[in-house]
Structure 1
């Protein structure tokens, strides 16, 4: 059996699931925050907030965290088979980005708790912007992994810059449209 391909498959399955969870979880945060901002006289506010908390907690515990672990197992397995990658600058940068993504993952647990308690945190617009962080990291990590050198970094940075600017403009336009309605 070729263990490298086994670990690579685990890694891909893990990070696809992990990112799906990250993207969906923070989108739930947007809706959860909007449920807190509803008119207090509306009876559906407490019902929505309770349901969003259940959905966020389950997504984090049952899908997102196991997917993170699967991603790490696959990645560590591939690195143990190809330890020379640890001497390459692109891998150092990739692992640094993954480290920041793990911090982002755990910060989501704090946001779940904060939204449950309605402590003042990010606005719904702030969560919309926060939701773009893993997208930008994903682009950089994929570019580095595909190119396996720092030229992938420059392509990734250019792509990040362009997409980041487009995301910011789109978010601002969307916010204006929502405020107008």
Structure 2
């Protein structure tokens, strides 16, 4: 995706978010004029921070990531992606991928999630069904979006860098996860400033 398209998508997302959060059109336009470069800089910084670049890796099979149990107890795992090792922690019904924000390709995420499922499936929210790679990718993308959009001083940014794939967040939106973590309704004005 070109920088221009990314900027248009970010501009649309920020505009929609500000309007939905109760900002007037005048406030929204003013905020975008004053702050849009910081959103664009955040995405460009993310892209240059060692995160995966688009079109770099396209996994075809789960064995390509070499998922391995490094403690021999089924708790600490490692997988390799784009020549980088990623730590993964498993506790029953819960996978945590450390520094997951560095992986942005949804198709590759799906292959990685399937490898995790093949090793240890995770129950769905109803505790009867099991999570699929696709619904895990959706949650992972929400984490990545939060990591990119949240300001550096927001305490949720540090948590957003690692995705936790467990039953309770299956199918939940960003605002639902935010409310669960903070006890507050999502208010984009407080996230991005007034």
Question: TM-score higher than 0.5 here?
Answer: no
Bigger strand share = 2
Radius of gyration: which is bigger? 1
More relative contact order in 1 or in 2 (CA 8 Å, sep 6+)?
A: 1
Q: Please give the TM-score of this superposition, normalised by the length of structure 1.
A: 0.29
Query: Normalising by structure 2, what TM-score?
Result: 0.28
Q: Which has the higher helix share?
A: 1
